[in-house]
Structure 1
Amino acid sequence: MTAKPTGHYVLKADGLYLQFDRLFHAPIEDVWFSLTNPNAMKAWIGTYTGRPSTGGVRFQMTAEDGAEAEWQNVSILECERPYRFTADSGSGPEGIRVFCHLIEGGGMTTLTLGQRMNDAAEAESMGPGWDYYLDRLIAARAGAELPVWDTYYPVFAPHYRELTVPSTAKA
């Protein structure tokens, strides 16, 4: 797989999102499992403890810092298995909102992931990060070698720095 920057902006009712799409040759339930099962998540991003049905979990992003990574409180705002979830991590200006939407058709599943941007300047670092993690997800599911961070950052930063913020489009 040749890595390339894929994120784009989408303006939604609650703010500006940096959004990414990936296509999987797999049933929707299988992709959902990779996104929501704490053991499956270990292969590409991290893990969590707790029960999402309670509306909150503790998430650890182990792909970067391993077992030393900090645990974060995450609020599950929406969860409609196997189609979508929305979650918040942190609060105030430092808080992060992420959503995942899945659609299945023709034996394939499309994942759309978005992160709300508090400041468009954040895209320069967030964009390469999400491209990296989503490509790790693809590699982990295929049993392939995981991508290397240096392929993504700072190489992709100019793409995200130059993105144009939509002014009238609503999604």
Structure 2
Amino acid sequence: MMPQPSGRLVRKDDGVYLVLDRMFKAPIEEVWTYFSRSPRLSSWLGEYTGTGSTGAVRFRMTADRDDANWEDVSILECSPPHRLHADVGPAGGSHRMFVHLTEASGHTTVTVGRRLRSLVEEADEGPRWDYYLDRLVAAHDHKQPPEPAAYGPSMTEHYRMLCRELDRDLRSEAAAARTAAAEG
């Protein structure tokens, strides 16, 4: 079965985020370790060095390739096992990320968000994050990770359409605000 796009775009005060969810039949503390323990994180996304409690770590995303570059990570908020907010990458070029975990009735929901710097240029992040989170599910369930080729053109087009629609809405809202300001 081909994977389906699961992300959505969410407007927040500081920008537009690509947001995706996955659900696990597991306690929240167990799922949290896939974000907080380097060996578990490396089973699906990448590895880190440093101590998160200091607010700074180094990370490299090995899900795509083993020779990935190390990036700086600034931990903005860490409230185990519920919330992690961070900036990933160099100053001025970093990506704001968040991970929220909630537990109910023996299930844990993971919500991951990545702020987009440009709706036009970053629509392709959707398929990548669907792939990464499907790798997380596979790692947790001790299954084979998905093949990256399955996250191709049809999924990319879905996210491009979401970005085009939101970009059009944002432009319409800006035009309406300019008109209202000129009339008022």
**TM-score, length of structure 2 as denominator length:** 0.86
Residue matched to 1:124: 123
Kept in 2, the 8 Å contact 1:86–1:100? The answer is: yes
Residue matched to 1:141: 140
Residue matched to 2:181: none
Structure 2 residue runs of 5 or longer lacking an equivalent are: 174-184
Kept in 2, the 8 Å contact 1:15–1:117? The answer is: yes
- 1:69 is displaced (CA, Å) by 1.1
Report the number of matched residues.
Answer: 166
CA distance in 1, matches of 2:109, 2:2: 19
Which deviations, in whole Å up to 9, do the C-alpha atoms of 1:76-109 show, x marking residues without a partner? 00000100010101222x3201100011000000
- Matched position secondary structure for 2:153: coil
Q: Which moved more, 1:98-107 or 1:115-124?
A: 115-124
CA distance in 1, matches of 2:154, 2:144: 20
- Matched position secondary structure for 2:123: helix
Residue matched to 1:20: 20
Kept in 1, the 8 Å contact 2:2–2:150? The answer is: no
Residue matched to 1:154: 153
- 1:56 is displaced (CA, Å) by 0.5
- Matched position secondary structure for 1:158: helix
CA distance in 1, matches of 2:128, 2:17: 14
Kept in 2, the 8 Å contact 1:49–1:59? The answer is: yes
CA distance in 2, matches of 1:134, 1:80: 21
What RMSD, in angstroms, separates the aligned Cα atoms of the two structures? Answer: 1.4
Percentage identity across paired residues of the two chains: 46
Structure 1 counterpart of 2:77, one-letter code: E
Task: Compare CA radii of gyration and give the structure with the larger one.
Answer: 2
**TM-score, length of structure 1 as denominator length:** 0.92
The yes-or-no answer on 1:73 pairing with 2:72 is yes
CA distance in 2, matches of 1:57, 1:109: 26
- 1:5 is displaced (CA, Å) by 0.3
- Matched position secondary structure for 1:21: strand
- 1:2 is displaced (CA, Å) by 4.4
Residue matched to 2:50: 50
Structure number with greater CO (CA < 8 Å, separation at least 6) is: 1
- Matched position secondary structure for 2:64: helix
Structure 2 counterpart of 1:26, one-letter code: A
- 1:154 is displaced (CA, Å) by 2.8
CA distance in 2, matches of 1:23, 1:2: 19
User: Once superposed, which parts of structure 1, at least 4 consecutive aligned residues long, lie more than 6 Å away?
Assistant: none
Residues 1:64 and 1:70: Cα distance change in structure 2 (over 3 Å): same
CA distance in 1, matches of 2:53, 2:44: 23
